[in-house]
Amino acid sequence: MKRNDNLFRLIKSLSKSEKRFFKIYSTRHVIGDQNKYVQLFDAIDKQKIYNEKNIVKKFKDEKFAKRLSVAKAYVYELILKSMNVYHGQNSVEAQLRDLLGNIHFLYQKAMHDQALKLVNKAQKQALLYDMLTFMPEILRWQKKIMEVKFYTQKKEKDLFELAEHYHNILEQLNTINDYWLLQARLYYRQYHKGIVLQNQEELAELAKMLENPLIQEAEKATTYEAKLLRYKFLSTYYFLLRDFPNCYQHSKGLIELLESRPKWLQMNLLLYVNSVNNLLNMTAMLGKNEERAHYIDRLREMMHSKQLKKSESLQIKLFQAYYYHLMTLSINQAAFADGMTFIYEMEKGLQQFKDKMDPMGSVMLCFYGFHICFGAEKYSYAYEWLQQILANPTTEIRRDIYYFAKILSLITAYELQNTTLLRQQILSTYRFLHQQAYLKKFEQIGIRFLRQLHQNTSVEELKQLFVQLQHQFKELVKDNLERKVFAYFDFILWLQSKLNNQPFAQVLKEAGKKS
């Protein structure tokens, strides 16, 4: 499939009910050749992989085949118009846009009193649902209607009040924008660099962001959206610092704020799923097992809701969150054999949502798919999950996961007892670590270890290398900046499993009981 064939991808994204509505809409709103466009729609829909040559061949006798790009563009626009109508009835944003369109129409017809009624209706709706971005346009129409009516039935103080109202709305929007920038910068850093802080400079940069008055003074978040953005910033900030109690507190606050406004929540279910996903990470880290089970069940309920199945984007996000947390639960409990029961289900979902899932979601599912298979001693399968991550080395999303996929490929090759593959991975990993711009202690240790490992070592010599490596890693745990590497994989317990000749899953389970 060509990634740039937008019409094919758009058609394939539609549900059965959406496709049915498009056909009904096209028969009502297209004069003359509507059946031809529906036929083109159906022909593209039947293809599993887009093949334009076959489309041209099929419609060679039709006029539009000679200008197929124009016909495709028309169908594309027609789909968007039909979907705007189909989904508009449930969207407050669409309703507000319709109201503004109607206000414009009535104004042009000089029906100013009727237009003003719609202005008042739009204003109430925008404020009720915190759609403040619509308010400047709504208030602009209020000013225009007041002017054309020569300010009749108005006092001078009404003009000041309207101007002040407009000014307050703009101030609130500016504040929301400032909150957005703070949390966006933090999210950008997490998505591109991961959870490992590289040095003290990065730590100082984050601390400076926390000192911003918008974050320090909760009362500055006067609007609902500003409060949401402040919670998002704080939960992400403390997550990057690995301060899980504080991260949990703000993640929980975000969920409670969302659930306090059911109507707003229904319009922002993607944000809710993301927030539940983040809260689940904290319940896992803090051992809040009942709360963890509750929210995993909540994700499963949403996945199976007939109403929510209408939104593919929401289903993709639910799929990612649900299987991610099923896997982390199995990993925490060292129940890798149980985890294998749903790994195959997850793999089917990854194929189903291929090319539609966001890169970070796909990468994280592959990474935890590796963990399940590695713990279950399905090393070939584990290696395949890592190769899926490494297949796109140019990605800017979660470079940290790509980094550890390289290192874990070496460990998996060792477990596979494939001498040729192991030697390849030793050289590849050695070169990769040497290419890092800033060598942390973890990388320095790794490079020294690989130099020694590359030599023909005996079993006894290898055991001594493992003992030295485990000791060095235990020292790293004491360093706040370095210890975070063990959040990706427990290298210390893996080495212990090799030294004690025990299954990795057994060592993890015993360590879990002790903690």
pLDDT digits (tens, 9 = 90+) for 40-82: 999 999 998 899 999 999 998 888 888 899 999 999 999 999 9
Which residue type is seen at 229? Answer: L
What is the spatial distance between Cα 247 and Cα 371, in angstroms, rounded to a whole number? 25
Does residue 369 lie within any of the structural domains? no
Q: Are residues 13 and 83 in the same domain?
A: yes
Residue 13, domain extent: 6-88
Tens of pLDDT, residue by residue over 26-45, are: 887 665 555 788 999 999 99
- Collapsing DSSP states into helix, strand and coil, what is residue 245? helix
Residues 51 and 80 in one domain: yes
Least Cα distance to 250 among 267, 265, 229 occurs for 229
Residues sharing a CB contact under 8 Å with residue 408, sequence separation 6 or more, in sequence order? 370, 374, 386, 489
Q: Are residues 18 and 70 in the same domain?
A: yes
pLDDT surpassing 60 at residue 95: yes
Per-residue pLDDT tens digits for 429-450: 988 888 876 667 888 898 888 8
Written as one letter, the residue type at 163 is A
| Type of residue found at 325 | H
Q: What is the pLDDT of residues 241-282, one digit of tens each?
A: 889 999 999 999 999 999 999 888 888 899 999 999 999 999
Residues 6 or more apart whose CB falls under 8 angstroms from that of 290 comprise: none
| Domain-located, residue 508 | yes
Name the maximum alpha-carbon separation found in the chain: 97
Distances (CA, A) of 128 to 84, 172, 350, 466: 22, 15, 39, 63
In a domain, 191, yes or no: no
- The pLDDT assigned to 370 comes to 97
For residue range 468-490, what is the model confidence (pLDDT) as tens digits?
Answer: 999 999 999 888 778 888 889 99
- For the record, the structure tokens of 497 come out as 């499993």
Is residue 160 in some structural domain?
no
Residue 108 shares a structural domain with residue 63:
no
Q: Are 365 and 403 in contact (CB under 8 A)?
A: no
Single residue among 118, 136, 154 that ends a domain in this structure: 154
Does some domain include residue 177?
no
Dihedral (Cα; 148, 152, 153, 154), 10-degree rounding: 80
**Model confidence pLDDT, tens digit, residues 326-379:** 999 999 889 999 999 999 889 999 988 877 788 888 899 999 999 999 999 999
Q: What is the DSSP letter of 408?
A: H
Distance CA 113, CA 98 (A): 18
Q: Which residue has the tokens 């590849």?
A: 428
User: Within this chain, do residues 65 and 12 fall inside the same structural domain, yes or no?
Assistant: yes
Highest mean pLDDT among 2-6, 160-164, 459-463, 509-513: 160-164
Task: Provide the domain count of the chain.
Answer: 3
The answer to the question of residue 246 being in a domain is: no
Mean pLDDT for 18-23 is 91
pLDDT confidence of residue 141: 97
In-domain check, residue 29: yes
> What's the distance, CA 287 to chain centroid?
24
- In angstroms, the CA 24 to CA 10 distance is 18
Residue 75 near residue 37, CB atoms below 8 Å? yes
Same domain assignment for residues 77 and 96: no
User: Does residue 96 share a domain with residue 62?
Assistant: no
Q: Does residue 183 lie in a domain region?
A: no
Shared domain for 99 and 51, answered yes or no, is no
